[in-house]
Amino acid sequence: MTIGANTEKILTELEDHGFEAYMVGGCVRDSILGRLCNDVDITTNALPEQMLAVFSGYKVIPTGIKHGTVTVLCGGESFEITTYRIDGEYTDHRRPDEVRFTADIADDLGRRDFTVNAVAMDRHGNIVDPFGGRADMDAGIIRCVGVPQERFSEDALRILRAVRFSSQLGFAVDKATADAVHGMREQLADISRERVRDELDKLICGENAVNVLLEYSDVITAVIPEFESSIGLDQRSPYHRYSVWEHTVRALGTAPKENMKLRRALLYHDIGKPACMKLDETGRGHFKQHDRVGAEMAAAIMKRLHYDNKTIAYTTALIANHSKKLRSKADVKKMMFRIGDELFFELMEMKKCDNSAKNEFVLEEISLFDRLKELGREVIANDECRSIRGLAVTGSELVQLGLKGAEIGEIQKEMLGLVIEEQLPNSRDELLKYAEQRCRK
């Protein structure tokens, strides 16, 4: 493991003052697995007041000094340093009521969630691994430290974290841990919505997201019950080979892992289908207005999970338009007017992902979306009018013709529609002439 200079300095300071110091948790796990390590957490046998003395020359924030944690700023980085501890009861299923400090790092590692996170490493590369975390990394297993029911009772978010790690790392969940995940999933109702939201976002971007979402759909519905009616729902459509939920998951899985915004929109894109499903006389399923209904449902869920308004607007705009048919450049410009240039190109990617999880004959339409993207690039390159702001006449010029208030907006929309359809040139003289003729009617 290559240790950053600032990390080395923090660990050295503690050692030079006679204390033990280890990197612990996710940074050690990710380093062993060859993954990018972001945050470095450090644990030590130094008590909080001793840490304050060691780092008296640094900027120190007593983040959670009652629980043995201080934050030290070093070289522009912040490091959380925590005294070895043993946790007491977790009556709120989130934080221990009290902690006891200990001199034994094995005690500290024993309070952690999963064995792969209960591994420590000092600056010399020496490993402390009392619960077999490295063996579980080699085997690709997520396993609770100790009894799963106890770990999950302490912090119910660990139920969701187990499947999130399975998704991110591509690991299987150990049977005893998986049984507890399924059996205790209802306890997720006690967890703050922000914490659930953050875990879900990480889960859907994992390399193993498809398998996890299918295998642990009951965990997802424990936090988003609106998905329950999608699971196992036969769409009875020639376009579809999967149930609504499996189609949703497989469509999500075709989006790039790093594109969280797109994966999030795909997670919710068909959530309105069960409510809108109608069978015709032949038994075929139809889902009229499911995009609009789905956007409304997604907005309500995302508000409940405390997403910001910008994120909700981005997601729901994609959902509300994902089944709209586009064939021509005029259609492209209308959609660009409706949702903006950036979202237009994301919408085309969403449509490709959506079609990728349908029956094979539908895959032929994917090339259409690439052609529509090319038309969109042409529109931008040629600066073709696709918004009222792009019209060659301004609202003030229309006022001079005697128009006022709502009339101006109505005529601007009319003119924009005609310009987009190429029935009227985007010329100041032609647009003013059109407006004057409209005024005489």
Q: Are residues 323 and 259 in the same domain?
A: yes
Strands (E), 153-200: 172-173
Q: Are residues 233 and 367 in the same domain?
A: yes
| 24 sits in which H/E element | strand 21-24
In a 13 Å sphere around the CA of 188, the CA atoms on its Cβ side amount to 30
Q: Judge residue 367's burial from the number of C-beta atoms within 10 Å of its C-beta, 0-12 exposed, 13-18 middle, 19 or more buried.
A: exposed
Q: Are residues 47 and 68 in the same domain?
A: yes
Residue in the structure block whose two tokens are 């209960």: 118
CATH code, 230: 1.10.3210
| 142 sits in which H/E element | strand 141-142
CA angle 417, 418, 424 (to 5 degrees): 150
Residue 403, domain extent: 388-440
Q: Are residues 114 and 145 in the same domain?
A: no
Q: Are residues 125 and 207 in the same domain?
A: no
Q: Are residues 365 and 248 in the same domain?
A: yes
Token reading at 124: 């010399």
CATH code, 168: 1.10.110.30
Phi and psi angles of residue 145, each rounded to the nearest 5 degrees, phi first: -75, 120
Inter-CA distances, 38 with 81, 208, 257, Å: 15, 21, 18
Q: Are residues 320 and 371 in the same domain?
A: yes
CB 233 within 8 A of CB 244: yes
Name the domain count of the chain: 4
Q: Are residues 274 and 332 in the same domain?
A: yes
Inter-CA distances, 281 with 242, 274, 276, 284, Å: 22, 18, 16, 7
CB 234 within 8 A of CB 273: no
pLDDT means per 10 residues in the chain (441 residues)?
A: 88 97 95 88 96 95 88 94 85 70 96 96 96 98 97 95 98 98 96 96 98 98 98 97 98 98 98 98 97 98 98 98 96 96 98 96 93 98 94 93 89 94 94 87 64
> Which of 131, 151, 167 delimits the end of a domain?
131
CATH code, 95: 3.30.460.10
pLDDT of residue 215: 98
CB 395 within 8 A of CB 412: yes
Count of C-beta atoms within a 10 Å radius of residue 320: 21
pLDDT of residue 439: 80
CB 217 within 8 A of CB 182: no
> Which of 190, 221, 252 delimits the end of a domain?
221
pLDDT of residue 438: 81
Gyration radius of the chain over CA positions: 28
CB 285 within 8 A of CB 268: no
The helix/strand/coil state of 7 is: helix
Tell me how long the chain is: 441
CB 97 within 8 A of CB 90: yes
> Which of 339, 358, 384 delimits the end of a domain?
384
Q: Are residues 8 and 114 in the same domain?
A: yes
In a 13 Å sphere around the CA of 390, the CA atoms on its Cβ side amount to 19
CB 354 within 8 A of CB 266: yes
Q: Are residues 327 and 423 in the same domain?
A: no
CB 12 within 8 A of CB 4: no
Q: Are residues 245 and 214 in the same domain?
A: no
pLDDT of residue 38: 77
| 431 sits in which H/E element | helix 428-440
| pTM higher than 0.85 | yes
Q: Are residues 233 and 333 in the same domain?
A: yes
pLDDT of residue 93: 59
**295-317 as b/e: b if 16+ CB within 10 A:** bbbbbebbeebebeeeebebbbb
